[in-house]
Structure 1
Amino acid sequence: MIKINLLPRIIDQKRLVRNTAILMGVILILIVGAGIGYAVKLQAKVEEMEKLAAETEAWKARVENIQKQAQEVRNQIQPIKQKLDFINQVLEYNLEFPKLYEEIAKWTYEKIQLRGLQCDGQQVVMQAYAKTLDDLGRYLLNMYRAVDLFSEVTISGIPGYKQAAGQAGSAMPTVQPAGGSQIGGSMAPLAGIQAIQAGVQRAESGAYAPTGITFTVTCKLKKPIVAPQFGGAAQTGQPGAPGAPGGGPMMPAEPMTAEPMAGPMGAPPGSPPPGAPPAAGGPPAGM
């Protein structure tokens, strides 16, 4: 038996259109639902981020407030800090003169008696006494060899030496080696040696009294000692009173004998190089 479909084809098309519309509606509903769910999720995240931003702003305000308070405290302690820094500088400054005097003692010949020593931070003036010109010569050569301490050395008061302009006791010519520096070591041409040689030549004929020699040595410091100034940079060339910032400690007025330290007049084998303190125990053999 043969089945014959006599229904028009439009009937099937309507059903197909209806099913398609239902499917599209379901898809649309799913899309809208997903969008709504995602929006709700984003909203929760936005609220969380806004809350975090508000907390961050609050922390920022607190940090700025703490920074402001810290700056106020710094401003309050700034004068105290300046005073503390000045005190530390003064303590360091007060140690410079003892160190300088120790170094001078190392370079002072053992048979020389220092009767006075003044230092204004720029130069050292020593009034000394020697029994003979030989002792004076060894002492002076040691001063010339102290290139780490002094940049210029002058001496006055050597007997039998013709002083500049015919005035005895005036300052001798300073050390001026050909290399350009004022002190070049033990082999540099020394103005004081000429004075000693002339004095020794005259001493042979009894040009000086055997009771001893009093002389003055002026040594310019290679590294000046500058007194600290409160609230500003240190000023040079303005020493204060002894024992106060700007001036060295007051030295005793009575005679004092230097430590037993001596240096060679020349550079014999085994002698220390220029700039090194002389060895203790007196001059080398042959002096």
Structure 2
Amino acid sequence: MMDLKIKTFLTIADVKSFTKAADILCLTQPAVSHQIKLLEEEFGIKIFNKIGSELKLSEQGEILLKYSRKVAAISEIAHQALADSRKNLKCYSIGMTPTAEENMIPEVLGQYCLQNKSTKIRIVTGTIDEIRQQLIDYGLDLAIIGNPLWDKDLGSIVLDQDHLCLIASPANPIAKMNEITLSDLQNENLILRSSTASTRQVFEAYLRSNQECIGNFHIMMELDNVTTIKDLVMRNLGVSIISNSACTAELTKGKLVAVKLAGKTEMTRSLCIVFCKTFSHPEAIEEIRAIYNKLKDEEKSEEAHFSD
């Protein structure tokens, strides 16, 4: 389905060589050059510039690359959709941040698949920026993340309110404190998500609202694996700020302790379903939301029973 000119262009852009592209595509080098010439004539632009021995995209070539990748993504989606239709299957690609992967979202999607036998789901984990780009490029149908993504091609609905908390090992002295000030927190080793993560951005916004900045704190480690962060904190190697929903089990079992932060505001964010506005199955989004609410209500009932 994808035009050979576009396929050739994308291959050259990836490997930065006409010769390598010819080998990959099983074409002669003159044939590769001809495809690029046809593309340049079609759009009236020069796509590549040769600077010494280096092949670089022109400014117009960069623009064409952006849209060519979308063409490639749509072509792949069309092939997959047609293959699935022959098997009476629906396939959704759903993006998630590492935090969303740690709470009940995978269970929600599993329940959705059980209730819709002809559906399969491909989960893609990434940072907010990666997920945004994949949604825009049609590599994902929808995503479940903290906070909406503002883009004219994307829509979103709020699934829940997510609270962040300061977690520590029961062996850490701050675990026995009723609350800890931000000044006291500056003496702790922080194990945080990367600066592009929604969790980190909410924490930094919280600091700013309390006349503090991240530069005043000792960040010992940055990583995007929430399970590893929890494990390091349980080993009392540091403390962290993560989603409360991502550590419910560890808090209930006493493996971790949530310590109240003394501040003017709370660390909250919206858990959202973000989707391409061209997504043609809004009923799937509504069903996912209904399953989430049902499981959330069941979880609250269990917690109330446990506390009794």
| TM-score bracket relative to the smaller structure | under 0.3
TM-score (norm 2): 0.22
TM-score (norm 1): 0.23
Bigger Rg, structure 1 or 2: 1
Which structure carries more relative contact order (alpha carbon 8 Å, separation 6+)?
1
Higher helix share: 2
